Structure formats: structure tokens, C-alpha cells
Structure 1
Amino acid sequence: MTADSGFEILLVTFPGLEEELKAEAKSLGFRPVETITGGVLLHGGWPDVWRANLRLRGVSKVLIRIGSFRAFHLAQLDKRARKMPWTEVLRPDQPVRIEVTCKGSRIYHAGAAAERIGRAITEELGAPVSEDAAVCVKVRIHNDVCTVSLDTSGDGLHKRGHKEAVNRAPMRETMAALFLRQCGYTGAEPVLDPMCGSGTFPIEAAEIACGLFPGRSRRFAFEDLATFDPAAWQALQAMEKPRQTALVFRGSDRDPGAVRMSQDNAARAGLESCTEFTQQTVSELQRPEGPPGLVILNPPYGTRIGDRKKLTGLYRAIGQTMTERFSGWRVGIITTDAVLARATGLPFAQTGGPVLHGGLRVSLYLTTALG
């Protein structure tokens, strides 16, 4: 890799939502090369890496390819690791973490491989190896080919820097952003989540409508790399142009703790003026004043035998409330179970393949505007 000619960048995302991330990347002027399982590949330089971390809402991590080579045994791995361009990207005063996976290779012990690569970095560059370092070198040894990448993000990009409290089994902001995109949401309509948990959907929708960058409030691992340019980074951050919106983004939940949690999270994101959270059940929900928009929710989906029967009543109540009170609104429900989605009685079409979420496979079911 060289800074002048560019390098391969991998935008990591949830398997099943690659096309949505690719579309988002294109909308921001990136030029995706191809989609692979769990990611989108593009070719670019360091400004593209910084901008991807700052602005892409649906990306989980931004990795760059440092290089690859064949290695059939640990001594060969050690020798070739020392020839990698560590000095071009890493700083000798910043500790690094090494993560190795091995599959179908004569080098099969990940811990031993990580020890050799860490030693090579320390002896060639001077950077110490630490298990809790923010900078992470990721190594994949597959069919005797060693691919070395660098995690430029640090903490997962769903950590926007605003949410201190989350409810049980929360949906990550990155996934919520891609489901909103799958619904055709652009920021031009109100959004309501009647089972809001920690407020992820309304807050994410409000940020889009207000033109806020998802990474505006956090640090990234690339700030600790040798390639970091503080002046160029500040110029990218200054491109954010927040705007006022007349729309209101609402959430409700039967749990008062969830409502308080959502209010606090919205306040930390600077979105108090355009968000509203109330305590109520789905059956108590009334259509808000103003233009129609999108109702999106991630209700419970049972994973044990008998759960479906218990949850059918809840899904039926959701459908009844939407049908009776939300004419003109679109409805999106994320669930593992097509039978539960049908129990709503709403005219859903499954919009895409299943997406892995918390070990389960979920799908978005979306209506057109209700009559």
C-alpha cells in the first residue's frame, strides 16, 4: 500500500445489508468497487478513510488492507511480517493490539501467530503490544495466505458518543440507519417508534433530518496513526452543516425507564427540540398531528417454543392500531418470524434477505402508505 496510489478499504457491515451500505456510500461520493459478504470494498486514500468513519451511518468498522503474503510456518510468518510497511502507518509511541484468525492453513495456532507478528512490529518499529490498545492490527490466515489489515475505527461505529444507557437487546445505530434506508427514509418525513427502547430509531432519523454527522462526537483509532493529519481532519469535520427541521421524531414505550433513557440519549445528541418520548402502550398510541411519515419498530420476537402464541396478540394489536389510526403512514416491522408479521394483518412485503442480529436472523417487513 502507498498513500499516493491509494489502497483497498473495507467498509464492514451486517451480512444482508451490504447493498444498503453500498447505496449510502455512493450517495456520499464514494466509489464502491464491489460488495462481499459482510462488507463493501472501495479504493481510496486516507481522506476517504477519515470521511467514511465520520459520515457513513451504516458502517460498523472501516478497515484498510496493509498487504498480504504466503506463509507456511511461523518462522516464515515472522520473516515476512518484518517486511510489512509498519513505519508508513503505525507510530512507535502508540501501542498496538494484534488479532489473528486461522482457517485452512498450516499455521493454525492464532496465539502463536499473533505473538510472532507483535514481536516483528515491536522490533522493527518500536511500538509496544498491548491487549487493550486502541490501534488494532487484524490478521487473517486463510489457505496459507496471510492478509494484514488495520482497524481505523477503534470502537464499533455504532458507538456515536451520545448513548450512555441502552435497553435489553438493543438495535445498533448502524443497523437502524440501514433499515431506515431500506424503508426509503431520507429525512423528509416524521418517524415514530411505538416500542422505542433506548430511542435508537427516532434519534437516528432526527440526526439524518438535521444533517448531523454520525461520528461528530467521538474519537477514532486513525487519530493515533502516523498518517493522521489534524488540519485535514478538522476541515472534514467543519463540512457538517446542521439544519433545523420542523418535523418531530417520536418514540413511546410502556416502560417509563425506557422513556427516560430515550430522552437522555436524545439530549446528549443535541436533539431535544425535535424529539418527543412518551410512556404508553401500542394500543394507546394515537396518530400525531402533522404530515404522515414512517412508523418503524423492532418488537419482541420469541425464540422459544410457545413464544409465538404469546406474541401473536401483541402483533395483532400493532396491526389494529396502525390500520385504524395511521392512514397515509408507512409501517416497517423488524422481526424473525413471518408468521408474526402476518398476524398484524398489514399488507407487508419482505424487502430483503434476512440480517444477522444478536445471533438471530431478522427481516424488515414494510407496507406502502396505508389506506
Structure 2
Amino acid sequence: MSENFEIFLVATPGLEAPLAAEVRDLGWTPEVQPGGITIRGGWQDVWQANLTLRGATRVLARVGSFRAMHLAQLDKRARKFPWADVLRADLPVKIEAISRKSKIYHAGAATQRIERAIAEELGATIAADAANVVKVRIEDDLVTISLDTTGESLHKRGHKEAVAKAPMRETMAAMFLREMGFDGTQAVLDPMCGSGTFVIEAAEIAAGLAPGRTRQFAFENLASFDPKAWRKLKDAVTRRNAPLQFFGSDRDAGAIRMSRQNAERAGVAELTRFDICQISDLQPPETAPGIIIVNPPYGARIGNKGPLYGLHAAMGDVFRSRFSGWRVGIVTSEAGLAKATGLPFQPPGPIIAHGGLKVRLWQTVPL
């Protein structure tokens, strides 16, 4: 093992491209793969990725690899692996193994060998509910050892307690905003804001707030963790001044209450405004034209979608008649609903898996 290893950044399938752009903006060289991005670096890069990336859902540190043609060889090489460099003997460990196109085809047997190697050579307890997770991938007889350095998914920023029905994940919201060209300087409006995800993400980006600033990470329990260096890394992320230009509205008073509470916890209450408002009453805020982004109901679990077509048509009328110069983005699983708005959409973005549905971002040029 060295201080220069592969780091795999797990992406929501379909959102690899905006994540690669984000990674590039932060100074890494991304290699795009299905389901994620590979970069190279050391432990500081692992911590930085967890702290600052808005689009990744998990950060895996690929800390070593070796070849193994059979279980006895796997056992021998697993025992020689320098586990003490990365794992602490006093904390339990969980092993997750998969095998593809390899002579070692039984993932369960491989898991047992590696569990035994760690337990006997390092002295750590093996536990199914352990926070420290070692992921073992055996492909074409190459055994790759990765550590989950994240813990709870990165969309859990640590400050959003109140959640509406069918919420948009923060990681997805950030990447959809990026796809719309949001860079922190434009006004953002979500007229069906639910628990406020799009609006709060936009305000945080504008203020330069690191998405992982208030949460814990799995890497804090690894042998390679340096609390002093981690504190220095967190302290280096400074807040920027940003104007109040992030707006959410919803017809549901409960959703507005949730949004305000979430914005308060996130530290962006003074940059955001949330109002109870029907789409028909929506008016543009007193800012330069910016971005409207909305995740309206798709009717995926509703038998009669007729009323939704009327809602989308009315929404399109409001945007066209009152929001000249604004760009509109709609996230939906139904092309027919997007088209019912009558808005001049560009070709839709890639298909994204969202809560068992397949959604796409439909966006316009300035109206």
C-alpha cells in the first residue's frame, strides 16, 4: 500500500458526467466508469472527497490487490495483507465479498477466509453490524480490497431531519443544478419545494458550505485517520457571502414548515425564503432571471394521471407568461407530462434511477 491509491467515487447511475465535472473542478483527474468515477490520491483526498463532493454517494478507498487462483492462495495472501495499516484491532469489521469470472467463484467461502485472516492476524472482531466495512471484489482472479470510508450515504448531509414524501436526494439535486449550469451566482426557485432540497443545496453551494461539514464519516474509525489533519482540512473550507436569492414555495403549509426548519439547521435560513403558494399565484422574485427547477408529482402511483396533465399545462402557462428570461428544469419520469407544459425543452438528459422510477431532467433555454 502507498499514499497513492485508487479512490472510487460512487455515483447515482446516469449522473456520472456531472460528478466527473465536479471532481475536475475540485482539482482531481476523473476517470469515468459506469456507476462512478475513479481518481488517484491518498488519505487526505479520501477525506476531502467525503467532505466536499456534492454528487458522490460513497467514497471507496482501494487500498490493495493481489491475485488468487484458489481459496488456499486467498487465505495465504489475505493473512499477509497489512491490515494494521488501515484497520484498528479494537473496532469490529464487516466483510462484503463478490466474485465474477474467477476460479474462486464462491463469494461466501471467500468472505470466510478473509474474515478469518483479519480476526487471527489483526485481532479484530468480525460483526455483521460493524461500522468498518471491507469490500472485496474478485474479478478475473484479481482480489481488490476496498474500504468504505463514508458510512451513511453522502446524500445524508447531517442537517435535514424533516422529509416530505418522495424526497429528492441531495446528491441528485446538486447534480441536476449543475446540469442546469448553476454555479452559485444565479437565483433559484422551486415552486413545489417539498422539504426544500433544491433550494437549500443551491444556497449552500452559493455560500461555499461543504456538504459534509456537520456529519461523521466511517474513515474516522480507520487506523489511517489523523484527527488534527482532518480538523485542519475542515477549517480550510470558508463560508462566502451570498445574497438572499433562493426561493421555495409549496401549497402545503407542512412542507414550508419543514423547509424552513431544514434551512435553519443547514445554516442558510438568511439566504432562503419559503412561502405557501399555489402555482397559479406564483410571481417572480425581485432578482435577475435565474433558474426554476421543480420535481413535480409524476403520478407513478396514481391510477388517473388526467389531473396531472392539467397541472403541468397550468404550470407551463405560468412560467411562459411571468418568467421571461428564466430557464426551467423539470425532473419527471413521464415525457408526456413534461410535454404537457408546452415549454420549449431541449432534448432530455440521461435516465436516472430515483426511488424505483426512471426520471430525466428536461430543461429549457431562457424563456
Which TM class, normalised by the smaller chain length?
over 0.9
In the alignment, the residues of structure 2 paired with residue 305 and residue 168 of structure 1 have an alpha-carbon distance, to the nearest angstrom, of 14
Aligned to 2:11: 13
Contact 1:189 1:247 survives alignment (8 Å)? no
Q: Tell me, yes or no, if structure 1 residue 135 matches structure 2 residue 132.
A: yes
Q: Which residue number in structure 2 is paired with residue 162 of structure 1?
A: 159
| SS of corresponding position for 2:328 | strand
Give the aligned residue type for 1:7: F
- Structure 2 SS opposite 1:236: helix
1:318-356 alpha-carbon deviations (Å, 9 max, x no partner): 111111111111110011122211110001113521111
Note if 1:46 corresponds to 2:43. yes
The amino acid of 1:82's aligned partner reads R
Please state how far the C-alpha of 1:58 moved relative to its aligned partner: 0.7
Verify the 8 A CA contact 2:93 2:132 in the aligned structure 1: yes
* Amino acid of the structure 1 residue aligned with 2:332: T
Aligned AA (2:249) = S
Q: Which residue of 2 aligns with 1:81?
A: 78
Deviation of 1:209 (Å): 0.6
Say whether 1:254 aligns with 2:251.
yes
CA contact (8 A) 2:289 2:325 kept: yes
Q: Check conservation: 1:66, 1:85, Cα contact below 8 A.
A: no
Aligned to 1:197: 194
In the superposition, the TM-score normalised over structure 2's length comes to: 0.95
Query: In the alignment, is the contact (CA less than 8 A) between 1:311 and 1:340 conserved in 2?
Result: yes
State the one-letter code of the partner of 2:321.
E
Q: How does 1:1-371 map to 2 (within 5 A)?
A: 1-3=1-3, 6-32=4-30, 34-303=31-300, 306-370=303-367
Structure 1 unaligned spans of 5+: none
Residue 304 of structure 1: how far off its partner (Å): 5.7
Counterpart residue type for residue 13 of structure 2: P
Contact 2:244 2:270 survives alignment (8 Å): no
SS of the residue 2:56 aligns to:
coil
Aligned mates of 2:50, 2:87 — CA distance in 1: 18
User: Take 1:302 and 1:82, find their aligned partners in 2: how far apart are those partners?
Assistant: 54
Give the Å deviation of 1:366. Answer: 0.7
Q: Distance in 2 between matches of 1:283 and 1:247?
A: 24
Q: 1:308 to 1:107 in 2, by over 3 A?
A: farther
Once the two structures are superposed, residues 116-158 of structure 1 have per-residue CA deviations (whole angstroms, 9 ceiling, x without a partner) of 2222111111111222222111122334443221111111111
SS in 2 for 1:48: helix
Q: Are the counterparts in 1 of residues 189 and 247 from structure 2 also a CA contact under 8 Å?
A: yes
* Residue-pair matches, total: 367
Cα distance in 2 between the residues matched to 1:360 and 1:143? 33
Structure 2, unaligned stretches of length 5 or more? Answer: none
TM-score, normalising length from structure 1? 0.94
- What is the rounded CA distance, in whole Å, between the counterparts of 1:304 and 1:353 in structure 2? 22
Distance 2:286 2:334 in 1: 32
Equivalent-residue separation in structure 2 for 1:104 and 1:260 (angstroms) = 52
- The residue type paired with residue 69 of structure 1 is F
Name the stretch that deviates more: 179-188 or 128-137. 128-137
Q: Distance in 1 between matches of 2:282 and 2:241?
A: 27
Q: Alignment identity in percent?
A: 60
Matches of 2:104 and 2:308, distance apart in 1: 49
AA aligned opposite 1:20: P
Which SS does the other structure have where 1:117 is aligned?
helix
Residue 64 of structure 1 aligns to a residue whose secondary structure is strand
CA offset digits 1:270-308 (Å, max 9, x no partner): 111111112222222111112111110111113368544
What residue identity is the alignment partner of 2:6? E
CA shift in 2, pair 1:167/1:115, >3 Å: farther
| Deviation for aligned residue 1:85 | 2.3
- Taking the aligned partners of 1:19 and 1:339, their CA distance within structure 2 comes to 26
